[in-house]
A and B are shown apart, each in its own frame.
Chain A
Amino acid sequence: MWDYTDKVLDHFYNPRNMGEIKDANGIGEVGSIACGDMLKLFIKVDEKGIITDAKFKTFGCGSAIASASALTEMIIGKTIEDAKKVTNEQIAEYLGGLPRAKMHCSVLGHEALEAAIRDYEGDKTGVQPEEEEGKIVCKCFGITDAKIKRVALENNLRTVEDVTNFTKAGGACGSCIPEIEDILYELWKDEPAPKEKIATARIEKPKMTNLQKINMIQETIEREIRPQLKKDGGDIEIIDIEGNTVKVAFRGHCTGCMSSQITLKHFIEAKLREFVSPEIEVVEIKQT
């Protein structure tokens, strides 16, 4: 059973802005019955370019309905230019997170918004640019390479599983999986994997207080780091902790060691990121 947040369930059981706008000046219709997800978004934009009303109709599951409801709440009152900046990740965040395998519902919401804005701006073809540009990679769900690249870039997707979670591509017969792998490889070959984004966390971990963070840093250094350094005759001392920056000074054989920088980043910083917070940065304070 999907682990939905209370907010997702609320938007499902009590959807906001469900319906149609008779005199809408932008309509976006995306998805298909074959896929099991379809969303029709109506927007009303005034002469100043502000979205004064938005309504939706959805054929889809709990996540699809909740995503559409959340989206309308997010865009009402925004200018078209600001609405263009809304991302699918923001939709998921607004709902307190969606199960990873349901992220494609937030992507659908984003696509409906883009389609509605395009419609408002005069493009009446109803065809998404990437449908024209790209070639179909996933035949089962009709997903183009252009779409896979765009969603992967926007959401920092590194695995085929995630591409499936966000676009459905590869989720049926699976014959396009090698091609998805190739696309991902081409996309990311020059960039290392960045820090993990926590946008789709289903349960928000309570934030640590400063005191708790400092204590945890100290504990981790005592437990994981200092014993290892001491084995090689070295040591480390915490000079100060400011926010996420831990200032340390090397002691013993570590001072003047050629590998101290490697130790700093790949051992000390890595350990603190693992046990305390992925945002920790370690800086050496050289003391004369």
Chain B
Amino acid sequence: MEKETSKRIVYVDNNATTSIASEVRDAMMPYFNDKYANPSSMHTFGGCLSKDIEAAREKVARIIGASTQEIVFTSCGTESDNAAIFGTLSSYPDRKHVITTRIEHPAVLICGEYLQRHGYDVTFLSVDSYGRIDPEELTKSMRKDTVLVSIMWANNEVGNIYPIEELGRIVKSFDSVFHVDAVQAAGKIPINLKNSSVDLLSLSGHKLHAPKGVGVLYIKRGTRFRPYIMGGHQERGRRAGTENVPYIVGLGVACELAMKNINDENTRVKSMRDYLEKRILDEIPSAYLNGDPINRLPNTTNISFEFIEGEAILLMLDRAGICASSGSACTSGSLEPSHVLRAMGVPFTRAHGSIRFSLSRYNTMDEMDYILEHLKPAVKRLREMSPGVESFAK
């Protein structure tokens, strides 16, 4: 096999990050060279920018069915998660029990592990082999001193969607604060927080075709919250720091676009994902779907290829310009495979060979064919290289 240089990029790693929509980029441009002042300034040159921020805030509020006073801009989803957790805990210093799940993003999980080492009791809810949470387990875990429950709306690796309303009702019946990391869900599935049980919600710009470096924390009216980033009075004293005007404006436009395209996401994009997934499972032997096949995001498919390793598959795809990601140990940054797959009990023979394809509205059907065209020989080649099944059985 010769090494071909491929200029074509087929980007199917949208759960990692997304391209910036051209409308978003265009909306941001004036704020770099022309409208660069500080929105808190007294002069009109600066002060009028606060109107642009408020306009963006309204667009963000609309995509989640919130009111504008409930929207706080942050630098990213991770900051929103951290702020939600620590901002809540410091508001209820006497309550020392926190509940979260084993399949959360590290932005929540690592906070949980930190809290365990600093005087908190943390319960990590388990998941079944499909990655689903059992509401009974949540009920049984709730205690009088449970201050916060943090559960993600949708999982970034396998795409599972969690029954947030049902789980929220359980949380609120015990009078705890309910935080939801909706970083992967926003823009892909409809979210309406009006009359919901959600107290805090995290959102991230770069997952919906806005730039990296802007996020949102939704704080329901009446929720006790201490600021995580302290300093000036921006964001009504809830998050200090000079507002990132261009990125906030960009995020507003991205949210508008996401709302317009949400049907497309759940029809056309979903059908591309279904097509890709079906062809892979039909045409490549020993390929297994990971996650809940029913309640999941319309754009994500996580598939394990038995007997071969994820990084090697990615390297093969990379040569053809195909960008995806893997749950294998070699790609995880630590030496262990994805904590999500492990929590689901996916056997090692499959966890190391898992690949996640996550689509966006910018993908096309012929890209799906292109992926199959390169994936099939890659898997075949790597399987030829792999020690026989008997070696695996040991």
Q: Smallest Cβ distance from B390 to chain A, in angstroms?
A: 10
Question: Does A29 lie within 8 Å of B312, measured CB to CB?
Answer: no
A residues less than 8 Å from B335 (CB atoms): 36, 141, 164, 168, 171-172
Question: Does A13 lie within 8 Å of B387, measured CB to CB?
Answer: no
Question: Does A59 lie within 8 Å of B328, measured CB to CB?
Answer: no
Beta-carbon contacts under 8 Å, A1-57 to B: 2, 9-10, 12-15, 18, 29, 32-36, 38-40, 57
Beta-carbon contacts under 8 Å, B250-274 to A: none
| A239 in the interface (beta carbon within 8 A) | no
Question: Does A61 lie within 8 Å of B312, measured CB to CB?
Answer: yes
Option from A2, A29, A59 in Cβ contact (under 8 Å) with B309: A59
| A77 in the interface (beta carbon within 8 A) | no
Complex alpha-carbon distance, A15 and B381, angstroms: 11
- Interface 1/0 per residue, A47-90 and B, CB below 8 Å: 00000000001111111110000000000000000000000000
| B158 in the interface (beta carbon within 8 A) | no
Question: Does B337 lie within 8 Å of A40, measured CB to CB?
Answer: no
B-side interface residues, number (CB < 8 Å): 29
Complex alpha-carbon distance, A14 and B1, angstroms: 6
**Which chain B residue shows the least CB distance to A101?**
B335
Beta-carbon contacts under 8 Å, B315-358 to A: 315, 319, 328-330, 334-337, 348-349, 352
**A13-B319, A36-B337, A65-B312 given as contacts; is B1 within 8 A of A59 (CB)?**
no
Question: Does B391 lie within 8 Å of A40, measured CB to CB?
Answer: yes
Complex alpha-carbon distance, A164 and B333, angstroms: 13
Question: Does B336 lie within 8 Å of A171, measured CB to CB?
Answer: yes
Question: Does A60 lie within 8 Å of B391, measured CB to CB?
Answer: no
| B225 in the interface (beta carbon within 8 A) | no
A residues less than 8 Å from B310 (CB atoms): 61
Option from B312, B386, B388 in Cβ contact (under 8 Å) with A12: B312
Complex alpha-carbon distance, A172 and B334, angstroms: 7
Option from A58, A62, A141, A172 in Cβ contact (under 8 Å) with B311: A62
A residues less than 8 Å from B384 (CB atoms): 18
Complex alpha-carbon distance, A172 and B342, angstroms: 13
A residues whose Cβ falls under 8 Å from a Cβ of B: 2, 9-10, 12-15, 18, 29, 32-36, 38-40, 57-65, 140-141, 164, 168, 171-172
Additional A-B contacts beyond A13-B1, A35-B329 (6; CB < 8 A):
A29-B387, A36-B309, A57-B388, A59-B309, A59-B391, A62-B315
